Amino acid sequence: MLFLPLLAVLVQALSGAPVDAMQAPPGTTAIVFLFTSTDCPVSNRYAPDAFASKGVVFRLVYPSPADDARAIHEHMAAYAYSGAFDAVRDPKQSLAKFTGATITPEAAVVVGGRVAYRGRIDDRFVDLGRERPAPTRRDLFDALSAIVDGKPVPHPTTQAVGCFISDLAR
C-alpha cells in the first residue's frame, strides 16, 4: 500500500515555518500522528511504538497553542523523543480537527489521506487516575499491524483516556 497525500493540512515546524503534515517520504505506508502535551501526565507516560521499517512515519503533534518550541524541545528531551520522532505544533488545531483527535495522548493513523484509526495507544489507562499494571490490548499496534499487512483495521476507533485538547473549537 502506497501513501498518497490527497490534501494538505498545515501545521508548524518547531522553527515556526508552515509545513504540510500530510507530506511523507516516498515508500510511506501510513503516518501516525501522536497528539501529546507537555503538561499531561497520562501523555507523558507513553513512548510510541516504531514501525519505521515497514514504511510508517511517526509524528508527535502538540495541539496546545501554549506549548512553544522551547517547551516542546525540553519535553522531547525529557521523554527521549528527541532524534527519534518529528514534532510539529498545531496551534490552530487544524490537524486535530481533521483527524477528530480530542485527547492527549491520542493516535490518529492516516492512510491515503483518510483516517484509518483514531484512539488510544493501548488500554493501560481505564480512566483518569485509574490504570492497569500493564495493558491488555495494544490498539495502535493492532491497527498498524493490520495496515502494513493490507488488512482492515479491527477497531478503527477507540476511546482515548487523557487530557482534553484545550481550546478545541469544533
DSSP string, 46-101: ------GGGTEEEEEEE--TT--HHHHHHHHHHTT-TTTSEEEE-TT-HHHHHHT-
Distance between start and end Cα atoms, the chain: 32
Q: What is the DSSP letter of 159?
A: -
* CB neighbours of residue 156 within 10 Å: 14
Q: Percentage of the chain with pLDDT > 90?
A: 49
Global pTM? 0.87
Whether residue 72 contacts residue 38, with contact meaning beta carbons closer than 8 Å, is answered with yes
CA 111 to chain centre: 13
pLDDT digits over 37-75, tens only? Answer: 888 776 665 555 557 778 888 899 999 998 999 999 998
Fold of 10-164: Glutaredoxin (3.40.30)
Q: How far apart are CA 53 and CA 71, in angstroms?
A: 30
How many whole angstroms separate alpha carbon 126 and alpha carbon 138?
13
- What tens digit of pLDDT does each residue of 62-117 get? 999 989 999 999 988 888 777 777 899 999 999 999 999 999 989 999 998 899 99
Question: Does residue 29 register a pLDDT over 70?
Answer: yes
Q: Is the dihedral of CA 39, 118, 61, 65 positive or negative?
A: negative
Type of residue found at 52: A
